[in-house]
Chains A and B, each alone.
Chain A
């Protein structure tokens, strides 16, 4: 691993300044993604700014919502009373991610920022436009079982691997960040980006910006929710496909719905059109089938991930049925 300079400031301002000025400086929180990437030589920051002394761990009520500090641990958020009560979908998604040990280290900010698990990104001997712009995409014609079926470009077909992100995009969360010029709020759906011509840019966070919190507005999605994660073993594996489903049900009619998918695109994939088709429909497998069909419009597969075109809609139907209690 490369050598680096290290500091752990106790002031937000110092932390931000240290990063803003230096192209080779990075924040470190839980370290579970960054240290992994540094060991493999995928990343070689020259300065690490340890943010663990900043007061960003709280989970608290906030006018009409819940505020989760960027340093709140994944394990803590997943078992927090307020989260279980108001946003059980998020708790389910977090619990499905990584392992108990890793969740004890991983932070909410770090989870949002975690990089793709595309094997070409991880292997420095392989071409990857995301790691080294201009070298090509090894996955396009290579081993692309885990890869995108939505929103990819001819430069990159990697997917965002986070489970938490899928729940947060479904729940209309937003991200509060602070940079050298002050604070701003980014809707969660705009936080991550599609690869386009510059897949090396991974989110819309600007250099020097520090994530302070993720804020989730209160909503009706406290009961009929389900996070379904389909993976290659029963636990401790990244999603092939995942679905975050939330329903507001009145009697047997759907009042509103929230739906998002993971493992299918460069960003957590919100399914707004499919949500719309569910409004006013009866709670039934047929309604869910129809939504799944709408959700999958425009999907396109590569050599090894064509199974996602079938697994995707099946997972949507299954997640909605479980959320509605008719599975």
Chain B
């Protein structure tokens, strides 16, 4: 599995298969060595392979990270500028997490990192080494829907469905945080998730039902 997902690359011209990557990395090592010699102290040149934590990874270098995504360990080589959102969607085929605005304004990209909700569009994946990431794909228990997923269906908590994965991830966190004690509180603490279809009343009902039902979320 680790091998399958040993993919990399962010920029348009790259594709994420590992062989291709190895070749590319060799090439990059070469070329970055040249720039590095010209521009940076020799310490930075060595840094690229293993100890880039403390030293600077080269500009074109793909750095190695291990991310735990939905319970699976993924060993990846990625460029530092790849956001968690782009990594999930473009390299790992986890397209449940949506890109609405890409600027932190809509919440469509909401995922959990170590159990807390964040916007994956404003996070560089490389910064999450060692963290546990949960996406909408990791919420259900096998084929059993998560109670929040079931409640969204029951209450018609969506129309087009584009904002829904983000809404559901955010809603689960909202209850876990203890911020779902009233309609007013739910509306305030769900304000980071925009729904262009305006399904808000149904979303609020779904959340309140799960909260009041006392199920574990």
Contacts and interface: CB of A to CB of B under 8 A. Distances in A.
**Does A pair with B?**
yes
Interface residues of A, number: 38
Given A104-B117, A105-B118, A5 B107 contact: no
A75 B178 CA distance: 13
Interface in B49-65: 52-60, 63
A40 to B, nearest CB: 8
B56 A6 contact: yes
Nearest to B114: A104
A4 B54 contact: no
B54 A101 contact: no
A31 to B, nearest CB: 6
B204 interface: no
B183 interface: no
A10 B129 CA distance: 14
A235 B187 contact: yes
Interface string A1-14: 11111111111001
A177 to B, nearest CB: 22
Interface stretch (A44-52, A82-90, A139-147): A44-52
Interface in A17-55: 18, 28, 30-32, 35-36, 38-40, 46-48, 50, 52
A236 interface: yes
A226 to B, nearest CB: 16
A124 interface: no
Q: How large is the interface on B (under 10, 10 to 19, 20 to 34, 35 or more residues)?
A: 35 or more
B52 to A, nearest CB: 7
B126 interface: yes
B9 to A, nearest CB: 13
A290 interface: no
A78 to B, nearest CB: 11
A31 B179 contact: no
A156 B32 CA distance: 40
Contacts, number: 110
A4 B118 contact: no
A101 B58 contact: no
Interface string B21-61: 00000000000000000000000100100001111111110
Nearest to A29: B127
Nearest to B103: A36
Given A36-B104, A101-B107, A50 B192 contact: no
A104 B116 contact: yes
A7 B117 contact: no
A35 B124 contact: yes
A221 to B, nearest CB: 24
Given A1-B81, A31-B123, A100-B177, A7 B188 contact: no
Contacts of A48: 80
A28 to B, nearest CB: 8
A3 B81 contact: yes
Interface in A279-297: none
Contact of B122 (A11, A32, A50, A75): A32
Given A39-B102, A100-B192, A104-B116, A4 B81 contact: yes
B6 to A, nearest CB: 20
Q: Which of B118, B170, B179, B187 is the most central at the interface, judged by chain A CB atoms within 10 Å of its CB?
A: B118
10 contacts: A3-B60, A5-B56, A7-B55, A31-B123, A32-B119, A39-B102, A100-B117, A101-B118, A234-B187, A234-B191
Given A4-B59, A6-B124, 4 more contacts: A7-B52, A99-B192, A100-B179, A100-B191
